[in-house]
Amino acid sequence: MKILQLDTNHHLITEQLTANGFQVDEDTVSSYYEILEKINNYDGIILRSRIPVDRNFLEAAENLKFIARVGAGMENIDTETAKKSGILLFNAPEGNRDAVAEHVLGMLLLLMNRLRICSDEVCNGIWKREENRSDELYGKTFGIIGYGNMGKAVAKRLSGFGVRVIFHDILPDLSDEFATQVSLGELKNEADVVSLHLPLTPETLFMIDEKFISEMKKDFYFINTARGKNVKTKDLVVALKSGKIKAAALDVLEYERSSFESLDEMNEDLQFLLQSEKALVTPHIAGWSHQSKEKMAQIIVDKILKKFRKQ
């Protein structure tokens, strides 16, 4: 089988697949249209987010048997068309769930304990104690929306913090020893913290908007390590200014490019987030640890070999 790798990934992908008889070519620079001209020569592709695999791409890829994304989300792939064409889809959410969970806790504790603020103050010769009292996580209710690999990993990390963990998911009967499933209405009534762990779909596009925020009973902390377009930024900024959202930890932004490699635009709302003490913004790196790079690559290789290894 001939495989085309479209992004730079851990070297074990090429090494292990080649050792198992696959031909692995790499093209991390050609444009979408240049890839289109040769994709018909390949049985499989491995990618992250650089190239969108849309209907046009899939129609040109007449011999494609699988698409493997070294990551969790699949929104850059026309999955419906791929499935109708009999193309297998692989991804690796198991590989970066631990990195995401630790990032969530790190950002939240940084905000609630004002660590970045008071550290910057001390570095500038300012010594404030009363003004930098923290807000304890202990005793709070932590609400997770989306209880897949990422949501479950976050709940597991919280088990030693003395918090009540609840979650909402569209699938039923997912409660476990780390968290209790509730309706979205109950989550809005009870949560002191809301953390998103959702794919981007028509149903979750701009899910967190003025209406959602207004329906939250308590003022709350907000965390998003899912997808930027799960949140309407303008409404988030209004809630931060009013205090309805106490602080926001954002690893993803509405204004990212589809490749996640940079911002698509800069505007007044984004400027506010970048300058506000109530917001912490990181560059889509929640799942981006040294360990997750290797784990995701290994998971993808294992899934390909399980299906296509020569008997």
Rounded Cα distance, 299 and 66, in Å: 15
* Predicted local distance difference test score (pLDDT) of residue 254: 94
Residue limits of CATH 3.40.50.720 in the chain: 2-91, 96-281
Q: What distances in angstroms separate CA 169 from CA 144, 173, 229, one per listed residue?
A: 9, 9, 18
Segment (H or E) for 115: helix 115-123
* Predicted local distance difference test score (pLDDT) of residue 49: 87
Per-residue confidence of the chain (311 residues) as pLDDT tens digits?
A: 999 999 999 999 999 999 999 999 999 999 999 999 999 999 999 999 899 999 999 999 999 999 999 998 898 899 999 999 999 999 999 999 999 999 999 999 999 999 999 999 999 999 999 999 999 999 999 999 999 999 999 999 999 999 999 999 999 999 999 999 999 999 999 999 999 999 999 999 999 999 999 999 999 999 999 999 999 999 999 999 999 999 999 999 999 877 667 677 789 999 999 999 999 999 999 999 999 999 999 999 999 999 997 64
* Predicted local distance difference test score (pLDDT) of residue 259: 65
- The DSSP result for 94-114, as a single string, is HHHHHHHHHHHHHHHHHHHTT
* Predicted local distance difference test score (pLDDT) of residue 159: 94
Number of H helices, E strands in the chain: 12, 12
Residue 10 annotated to the active site: no
Residue 116 annotated to the active site: no
Rounded Cα distance, 42 and 48, in Å: 17
Which of 284, 290, 294, 309 is the catalytic position? 284
In DSSP terms, which residues pair with 280 in a beta bridge?
A: 249
Which of 197, 256, 261, 290 is the catalytic position? 256
Residue 257 annotated to the active site: no
* Predicted local distance difference test score (pLDDT) of residue 310: 61
Q: What's the CATH code, domain 96-281?
A: 3.40.50.720
* Predicted local distance difference test score (pLDDT) of residue 73: 85
163, two tokens: 């918090």
Which of 227, 257, 261, 294 is the catalytic position? 227
Class of the CATH-defined domain 2-91: alpha beta
